[in-house]
Amino acid sequence: MLRGNKELWLAFLTMLLITGMYGFVVVFTRQIPPASDVFGHGMGIVGFVLMLMTEVLYSLRKRSRSVRWGRMSAWLQFHIFTGLVGPYMVLLHSSWKFHGLAGATTLLTVIIVVSGFIGRYIFTRIPRTMDGLEIEGTLSQEALKQARRLLALWHTIHIPIGMALFVSAFVHIGAALYYATFLK
């Protein structure tokens, strides 16, 4: 079972630091940083890389049976941290404009983050060892079965939305590169 909320506090503090940098840029330039300038692109790129790490690295570790790259609980904390900080940076990259494909991608990002909070809540209802393995027999078997069913249902929703998010994000990145960079 997860001990405390270390990853949530670390994500919150990191987002406060990023907000401070963003605020400094707003005060210095006297405008909201456009998504297409160096700062805006930087926020979007770093945020997207964090989101990609959120999905790819955690999924690889979760499915790896032969290689042990650390405890699953640590990887879940990493997943939660990058799954909060990355989308926050992408939201700041949007310049608070939610039009077209970029707006749809931002909406999917918000949905996946909210879904992640729901999944974390369900996950913490199932008793686990420090390595993330389920502990049998501590709850009544019916409560444990219900929590597992909820988690399975949550996965059937969360994973396809995540895939749609990344398809949308890659199309957005490709279009941004084509129209804003290669055509200039």
For residue range 87-103, list pLDDT tens digits in order. Answer: 999 999 888 888 888 88
Give the torsion sign (CA, 109, 111, 112, 116): positive
> Among candidates 142, 89, 83, which has minimal Cα distance to 112?
83
- The answer to whether position 35 is within a domain reads yes
- The answer to whether position 92 is within a domain reads yes
What pLDDT is attached to residue 103? 84
Q: Please give the average per-residue pLDDT across 152-173, as a whole number.
A: 88
- Cα separation values, 176 from 81, 91, 128, Å: 27, 16, 44
Question: What are the φ/ψ torsions at residue 161 (nearest 5 degrees)?
Answer: -65, -40
Q: Which of 26-40, 58-72, 167-181 has the lowest mean pLDDT?
A: 58-72
> Number of structural domains, the chain?
1
Look up tokens 């929590």; give the residue.
Answer: 147
- The answer to whether position 1 is within a domain reads no
Give the torsion sign (CA, 71, 73, 74, 76): positive
* Contact yes or no for 105/169 (Cβ under 8 A): yes
Q: Which domain holds residue 114?
A: 6-182
Mean pLDDT of the chain: 81
